[in-house]
Amino acid sequence: MKRYLFVLFLIPIIFGYLISQEAPKHKYVGVAVCAPCHKGEKKGKMFEIWQASKHAKAYETLKTEEAKKIAQEKGIKVPPYEAPECLKCHVTGYGAPKEAFLEKFKIEDGVQCETCHGPGSDYKTLKIMQNREEAVKNGLVLALVSDGSAEKLCRTCHNEQSPTFKEFDFNKEWPKIAHPLPKAE
């Protein structure tokens, strides 16, 4: 009888735990999914701008001798490409559960579109992306200069906690990665 009561006691606890562990609402798809619709002149060369940026190479920089040296100086005991202290800013979605990533997502692609624009699984389709309101409703994050959200987002990594931080001048750096849609003709 005691065992039966104990099991009855455990069921709501286990059920509550399982409910609290629900899968992330939106999932990371990776730059390979974004690229086909966001490259070329008509789209303002968005993909090409990212591809030429340091963001696209952010993960790869963690495999350099310079990164190893910095990690060692900071007392990091694992290679930089495995260190949470480094990965949190050098890859997209670091710290999210495994279920938050779809199959095509690759950590090797560094700081991808979804770092700034949110996981794209629910806004990636053309039908949704053609309607900004729908895209936002489905997880698209609008990082805007006009409201300060772009700068705030940038400063989550470009700040004094970075071991290589010197200074971050948003107004100087933003034009290097800006990728607005071209004006309709």
In a domain, 182, yes or no: no
Count CB-CB contacts under 10 A for residue 71.
21
In a domain, 185, yes or no: no
Q: What is the pLDDT of residue 182?
A: 82
| Alpha carbon 39 to chain centroid, angstroms | 19
In a domain, 11, yes or no: no
Q: What is the pLDDT along the chain (185 residues), one digit of tens a residue?
A: 555 444 444 444 444 444 445 567 999 999 999 999 999 999 999 999 999 999 999 999 999 999 999 999 999 999 999 999 999 999 999 999 999 999 999 999 999 999 999 999 999 999 999 999 999 999 999 999 999 999 999 999 999 988 888 899 999 999 999 998 887 65
In a domain, 6, yes or no: no
Location of structure tokens 């560094």: 110
Give 89-94's long-range contacts (Cβ < 8 A, gap of 24+): 89/58, 89/156, 89/157, 89/162, 90/58, 90/59, 90/61, 90/62, 91/58, 91/59, 92/28, 92/30, 93/28, 93/119
- What CA–CA distance (Å, rounded) separates 74 from 169? 25
In a domain, 106, yes or no: yes
Q: What is the pLDDT of residue 72?
A: 95
Quote the pTM value.
0.83
In a domain, 79, yes or no: yes
Q: What is the CA radius of gyration of the chain?
A: 20
Domain residue limits at 168: 26-177
Q: Domain containing 114 — which CATH number?
A: 1.10.1130.10
Total domain count, the chain = 1
In a domain, 56, yes or no: yes
In a domain, 12, yes or no: no
